[in-house]
Amino acid sequence: MTQLALVIDLNVCVGCQACVTNCKEWNTSGVAGPMVDQNPYGKDPTGTFFNRVQTFEVGEFPNTETVHFPKSCLHCEDPPCVPVCPTGASYKRKEDGIVLVDYDKCIGCKYCSWACPYGVREFDEQQKVMKKCTLCVDRIYDPKMTEEERRPACVRACPTSARLYGDIHDPDSEVSQAIREAGGYQLMPEWGTSPANHYLPRRKTRLRIRVDEIERADNPLKIDEQLPRPGTAEPSLDDVTSW
């Protein structure tokens, strides 16, 4: 069975918000209807977004690291938001595991948002229904698009390729390999929701070189700090002579 998901590499995300912008642009003009902002040029602008990029500081000065953290619906394999929905508007597709909201059935009771521990569902104040990431379901199956274009808008926008997209149930997919080989993990595993989206941790590239690997153990300078005097008849090429 297919489970489409995003794998987000925290090691390369630079927090540029391009995924946020492209997500909003695609979905506000797509079949899901507008995601209208309220008071966009006023004092307290607000609006519905499917995707947010947050920033955390890990550690204590001066040993700190800035972690940019993109956050959208994780398309849980056991989604707690789905069974609580009284109308069946919230559902998980069997064929590809995407969790969706039927905007024509939603009554806007907001109960599903209470049942989501990740806070990734946002209520649309204009349409008065609950909205969430669709994994660009209107892109990824569009036969008019090229293979390259048939990916979520956020994935297409990412300039550092921090967002991978694919089937996490296919062991040979790019995302499954990334999860397996780069230590992909799930958010809040304590609730047993089994999120499909995974995150790849920050990685440090460290060279492990011993001192004797960069210094010659038999360097004559180590013995008496004096260069040996080569015999005048000896050849003068290094590593050929005794010194």
Partner 1 sequence: MHPAFSVIFLTTLIGVGQGLFLALFTAQSYALFDLLPQQDGHTFYAHGSALALLFLIGGLVASFFHLGRPERAWRSATQWRTSWLSREVIVLPAFMGTVFLYGAAHLLDWKPAIATLPGGIVVDATVALGVVGTLLAFLLFLSTGMIYACLRFLREWHTPLTVINYTLLGSASGFTLAAGFAALVAPELASFFAGWALIILLLGLVARVASLVRNCHLKPKSTLQSAIGIKHPKIVQKTQGFMGGSFNTREFFHGRSSLFLRSLKWVFLIGVFVIPASLLLAGFAGAAAEALLAAFVVQYAGLIVERWFFFAQANHPQNLYYQSVA
Going 122 to 133 to 49 to 13, the CA torsion angle's sign is positive
**Distance of CA 199 to CAs 22, 28, 162, 174, 184, Å?**
20, 26, 10, 14, 5
- What part of residues 133-172 is at the interface with partner 1 (CB under 8 A)? none
Contact 156, 165 (CB under 8 A): no
Closer of 3 and 90 to partner 1 (Cβ)? 90
Supply the Cα-derived Rg of the chain in whole angstroms: 27
Is residue 62 a contact point for partner 1 (CB under 8 A)? no
Is residue 224 a contact point for partner 1 (CB under 8 A)? no
- What part of residues 178-217 is at the interface with partner 1 (CB under 8 A)? 185-191, 199, 201-202
Of 84, 86, 82, 80, residue with least CA distance to 107: 86
Is residue 45 a contact point for partner 1 (CB under 8 A)? yes
Is residue 110 a contact point for partner 1 (CB under 8 A)? yes
Torsion of CA 57, 58, 59, 60, to 10 degrees: 10
Q: Which span (28-36, 66-74, 149-157, 219-227) binds partner 1, by CB under 8 A?
A: 66-74
Find the shortest distance in angstroms from Cβ 108 to partner 1: 2
Is residue 16 a contact point for partner 1 (CB under 8 A)? no
State which of residues 79, 118, 140, 173 lies at the interface with partner 1 (CB under 8 A).
Answer: 118
Main-chain dihedrals φ then ψ at residue 57, nearest 5 degrees: -110, 125
Under 8 Å CB-to-CB from 97, ≥6 apart: which residues? 1, 2, 3, 4, 5, 75, 77, 169, 196
Is the bond leading into 62 cis (omega within 30 degrees of zero)? yes
State which of residues 13, 35, 89, 178 lies at the interface with partner 1 (CB under 8 A).
Answer: 89
Is residue 101 a contact point for partner 1 (CB under 8 A)? no
Is residue 19 a contact point for partner 1 (CB under 8 A)? no
Find the shortest distance in angstroms from Cβ 120 to partner 1: 8
SS3 (DSSP) at 129: strand
Residues that bind partner 1 (CB under 8 A): 17, 20, 39, 44-49, 52-60, 66-67, 69, 71, 80, 82-89, 105-111, 113-119, 121-123, 125, 127-129, 185-191, 199, 201-202
